[in-house]
Amino acid sequence: MFSLINYLKKYKARIIIGPSFKFIEAVTDLITPILVALILDDGIPNDNKKFIILISVAILGMNLLGFICAIICSKCASKVSRGVGLDIRRDMYKSITELSASEKDKYTTMAFTNRIVHDVNQIETAIGMTIRNVARAPFLLIGSTIAAIIIDAKLSLIFLAIIPVILFIVITIMKKASPKYIDAKRNLDRVSNVTRENLSGNRVVRAFNKQDYEIERFDKVNNSFTGTNLEIGKLSSIMQPLLYLVVQLGIIGVVYFGGVQVNIGGMTQGKIISFINYFAQISASLVVIARIIIIFTRTGASIKRINEIYSLSPSIKQSKHAIELNKDMPANIEFKNVCFSYNNQRNMVNDLSISIKEGSTIGVIGGTGSGKSTLVNLLPRFYEVTSGEILINGINIKKYTLKSLRDYISIVPQNPTLFKGTIESNLKFRNGNASLDEMIKALKISQSYEFVMEKPEGIKTRVERGGTNFSGGQRQRLTIARALVDNPRIIILDDSSSALDFETDYKLRKALSTMLKTTTKIIVSQRTNSIKDADNIIVLDNGNVVGIGKHTELLKNCEVYKEIYNSQNKKEVL
């Protein structure tokens, strides 16, 4: 459970020191008008020059003191707020990496990053603002009010009348505006979405001669974005003059009733001027308080969102007595009556039993959504089998440590993702100490060696985020190379050669079978050509295993396999 208090505890001292110094600054602010009034009321009428100098120097000193105190408080505030943010981000990231796939599937990447970056930022802002203002604004508000009451109780009634009016104005307008800000954000997203679509599909746009239509489409979203902005503008342009009006009316009241008091006796000119000063301070601090209130409501929402992350806990845990899966052990795999379903819905894998010998090649084939990827994701325990068991060397994979299991098995996912850095840093993703020979071997097997060496910088070639500076086929080959480094005992290719032309795909398969004799290979594919030489082929259809066997056997007795094969090869037969 997320608790802000726990994070704040570490900074106890600063949380006390900051506002204390701010308090001193507020006191100096409050005293200044009193001292100025002394000059005006006592100094001038009595021609007391010494007194005037003395008081002026005192005010000057206080002013400087206030400034220094404010700096100290500001430093405390920024240290605490950003420090708390630092700690929260670290913990959040850690807990996210510890989650299992099934929990992560519930959120998009954006949802996670927005929480770590923006929601934590919101908390930081709120903490900083609170520390800087918690002493000052309410103290000035209360202090000014008390000071005003001391000067003249009746006159200060005007204050009391005006405080709720100001708060009411600020909060009403901000409340009205804040959903509009969300609208504006949404509309801006639409503008950027239409632009993004236009840029990415510009060839199609031109091919269909639809430039004018696109401009119209853009005009629509652009216009509604401007519309929301104008509405926000309307609200915000009225707030400042309205506040000015209220404060000035108050001042007129103060001067008039002050005049009445002076006429009766017991009030002076100087005091009226101080009164005006207090007035200005009250209205300024009211605006600050209103802003704090608004920020706090927003922070509440952020805390709620962060809490969602904290309340997730990894569903796949390592057992307490987990043992190491040694890489020297042969990679014999056995699936025993394995079933799997996401959230107890329809089975994505239904009662699969197969044993796979070390060094053999297993093909997995089936249509989209037939459960191929799901099946191979069970092996490194990204998901946990719902029933049945998976054994490596006769021991249930749940008994191995997650780390050793995942070092033992290497998976190349469907989506060829490279990380920002260099080709080398990507190859060293698993083992930072991988040798050059090892990397070159992996590049050669994956058919990447040639194009990597054609680059002027070889394996030091830069990789952009997501690998966008490589073609789809190159990316796939590099992800395969990455999986081969560090000699995994089992390698899983999850439809990872789809962007390769037939020739390269063929060379890749050949290299895998000749150069990695003792590695167990599991190849998921949509193409019968890619798996027809496998020692065993699993045919899936809607999660059901509809056939297991060699290519020639399946052609004879597996309808689904035959159908797939024919659709791909019938016309190609010479």
Q: Which of residues 348-387 bind other proteins (CB under 8 A)?
A: 367-368, 380, 382
Quick one: which of 168, 181, 256, 342 contacts other proteins (CB under 8 A)? 256
Q: Count interface residues toward other proteins (CB under 8 A).
A: 158
Query: Residue 390 in contact with residue 397, Cβ under 8 Å?
Result: yes
CB of 161 to other proteins, least distance (A): 17
Identity of the residue, 94 or 517, whose beta carbon is nearer to other proteins in the bound complex = 94
Cα–Cα dist 395/334, whole Å: 9
Closest CA relative to residue 527, chosen from 501, 572, 565, 471: 565
CB of 550 to other proteins, least distance (A): 13
DSSP conformation class of 382: S
Cα–Cα dist 51/328, whole Å: 93
Identity of the residue, 163 or 564, whose beta carbon is nearer to other proteins in the bound complex = 564
- Which residue stretch of 50-58, 167-175, 325-333, 547-555 sits at the interface with other proteins (rule: CB under 8 A)? 50-58
Which residues are CB-neighbours of 50 under 8 A, at least 6 positions away? none
Site for other proteins in 196-235 (CB under 8 A): 196-211, 213-215, 218-219, 222-223, 225-226, 229-230, 233-234
Site for other proteins in 264-303 (CB under 8 A): 264-265, 268-270, 272-273, 276
Site for other proteins in 532-561 (CB under 8 A): 533
According to the binding rule CB under 8 A, does residue 161 interact with other proteins? no
Q: Which residues pair with 410 in a beta bridge?
A: 491
Cα–Cα dist 499/542, whole Å: 25
Could you give the 3-state DSSP secondary structure of residue 567? helix
Which residues are CB-neighbours of 92 under 8 A, at least 6 positions away? 115, 116, 120, 306, 309, 310
**Contact map string, positions 23 to 42, toward other proteins, x by CB under 8 A:** --x---x--x---x--xx--
The encoded tokens of residue 76 equal 């405390």
Do β-strands 520-525 and 490-494 pair in parallel, antiparallel, or remain unpaired? parallel
Identity of the residue, 375 or 409, whose beta carbon is nearer to other proteins in the bound complex = 409
CB of 309 to other proteins, least distance (A): 11
Query: Residue 147 in contact with residue 140, Cβ under 8 Å?
Result: no
According to the binding rule CB under 8 A, does residue 417 interact with other proteins? yes
CB of 337 to other proteins, least distance (A): 25
According to the binding rule CB under 8 A, does residue 395 interact with other proteins? no
- Residue 414 amino acid letter: Q
Cα–Cα dist 224/205, whole Å: 23
Query: Residue 521 in contact with residue 379, Cβ under 8 Å?
Result: no
Quick one: which of 17, 20, 23, 82 contacts other proteins (CB under 8 A)? 82
- Which residue stretch of 62-70, 169-177, 340-348, 391-399 sits at the interface with other proteins (rule: CB under 8 A)? 62-70
Identity of the residue, 71 or 293, whose beta carbon is nearer to other proteins in the bound complex = 71
3 state SS for 389-402 = EEEECCEEHHHECH
Quick one: which of 2, 18, 19, 66 contacts other proteins (CB under 8 A)? 66
> What's the maximum distance between 2 C-alpha atoms anywhere in the chain?
119
According to the binding rule CB under 8 A, does residue 567 interact with other proteins? yes
CB of 536 to other proteins, least distance (A): 15
CB of 151 to other proteins, least distance (A): 14
CB of 162 to other proteins, least distance (A): 14
131-161 burial by CB neighbour count: b if 16+ within 10 A, else e? bbbbbbbebbbebbbebbeebbeebbebbee
According to the binding rule CB under 8 A, does residue 20 interact with other proteins? no
Identity of the residue, 307 or 401, whose beta carbon is nearer to other proteins in the bound complex = 401
